[in-house]
Structure 1
Amino acid sequence: MDDSITVAQALRHARHDFLNELQLIQMKLDLGRGQDVKSIIRSRAEAAVQLNRLSALKMPAAEHWLLTAEWRFPEFRFHLECLAQAGITTKDAAFADWLEQFFSSLKEQADTASDISCRTVLKEQQSDFEIGLDLNGNLPDTQLPEVPGLLARKEIAADSLKIIVSAKMEG
């Protein structure tokens, strides 16, 4: 990853995001919108569960990339779901490299005024470990990076792009 983020920068971003969440909660409380506050809390609790699952995969390079993506690529709205129970440590750096190449390329080509969301799902599918990307918005047709040991395929629809990046599980 060329554009690495330091621990201090990550903490600064995290504090900023946390303060924004608190301000949003305070605003909702001031407006008497308790159900909205409960929804925000549920959403943040579920996000914490997903991050714990990600950490349990023992894929530090991919985890680092996924944890800092929203700060390094603010053009995209990321949502993470970790359904996998086991990672693939030998391909960890390859997955992080693939993600970096893909989003760097997409960032250069994308219309920065458009709202692009990316649902990222990590899972085991038969004997493969997969990272699935469901992108929605005004997307350019971008080439998929070729990283040794990984297989990437895509499906293009009118306003969305689905990509699966996979590798054979160890053992």
Structure 2
Amino acid sequence: MGNIELNVSDTMRYSRHDHMNDLQLLLMYLDMGKYKEARKCILDKTAEMQQLAMLQKLCMPLTEEWLTTLDWRYPVFKSHLHCDIASKIEVQQIDEVLVDYLERLVQDVIPKIDQYAECQVEITVRTDAAGWSIQMTFSEIHAKQMNISENSSLLTVEVCAEEGQWTFIISGQLGGL
């Protein structure tokens, strides 16, 4: 369940593997005459690629890389990304602090996941003219308390607990930076 360090070659290998799986699934549906399923497969993959393209509008390359490679570096996670990016951030200091926090967050979450479970992670990234937020909801969490605080003036963290899942909302302001 540990962190895997990725270089460009590793990233390309993981990406090729994922794309090959998607193409094989599509081919299987076509071979079986399941055209509705094949169409859904294409639409799902297209929507996923659109979300990744939207993430680039954030203009935070470290955060984009971290979110994009989460599943590859930590195979215990299966993430789903949704983006609503109306304003770019372009503040390198926020990018560095945010990635450091996200890395510490998953390091603290991993020991609280059932070792045989695949932890679903719903990630929503939003920005507008006034601020930004990243909401991460982890499922399959078995902990009575998780409070991973942040001591930065650049971001605020809110933790919400429900049965079997934890939600972390990391946010900050854009105006006046």
The answer to whether the superposition gives a TM-score over 0.5 is yes
Q: Deviations over 1:40-73 (max 9, x none)?
A: 1101111111111111211001001011111011
Match of 2:134 in 1: 131
3-state SS of 1:152 partner: strand
List 4+ stretches of structure 1 deviating above 6 A: none
Whether the 8 Å CA contact 2:155–2:171 is kept in 1: the answer is yes
RMSD: 1.8
- In structure 2, the CA distance between the partners of 1:168 and 1:152, relative to structure 1 (3 Å rule), is same
- Looking at structure 2, the residues matched to 147 and 62 of structure 1 have their Cα atoms a distance apart, in angstroms, of 19
The one-letter code sitting in structure 1 at the alignment partner of 2:112 is Q
Number of residue pairs matched by the alignment? 170
Match of 1:44 in 2: 45
Match of 2:146 in 1: 142
Partner of residue 167 from structure 1, selected from 156, 168, 172 = 172
Whether the 8 Å CA contact 2:129–2:175 is kept in 1: the answer is no
Q: Deviations over 1:123-169 (max 9, x none)?
A: 13672210011222244343314251211111111132221001111
Partner of residue 120 from structure 2, selected from 95, 117, 131 = 117
Tell me, which stretches of 5 or more residues in structure 2 are unaligned? none
Tell me, which stretches of 5 or more residues in structure 1 are unaligned? none
- In structure 2, the CA distance between the partners of 1:57 and 1:105, relative to structure 1 (3 Å rule), is same
Instruction: Give the percent of matched residue pairs that are identical in Structure 1 and Structure 2.
Output: 25
- Looking at structure 2, the residues matched to 133 and 121 of structure 1 have their Cα atoms a distance apart, in angstroms, of 7
3-state SS of 2:124 partner: strand
Match of 2:104 in 1: 101
Match of 2:158 in 1: 153
- In structure 2, the CA distance between the partners of 1:115 and 1:4, relative to structure 1 (3 Å rule), is closer
Q: Deviations over 1:4-51 (max 9, x none)?
A: 411100000001111111111122222221111111110111111111
- In structure 2, the CA distance between the partners of 1:138 and 1:3, relative to structure 1 (3 Å rule), is closer
Match of 2:57 in 1: 56
3-state SS of 2:137 partner: strand
The one-letter code sitting in structure 1 at the alignment partner of 2:130 is S
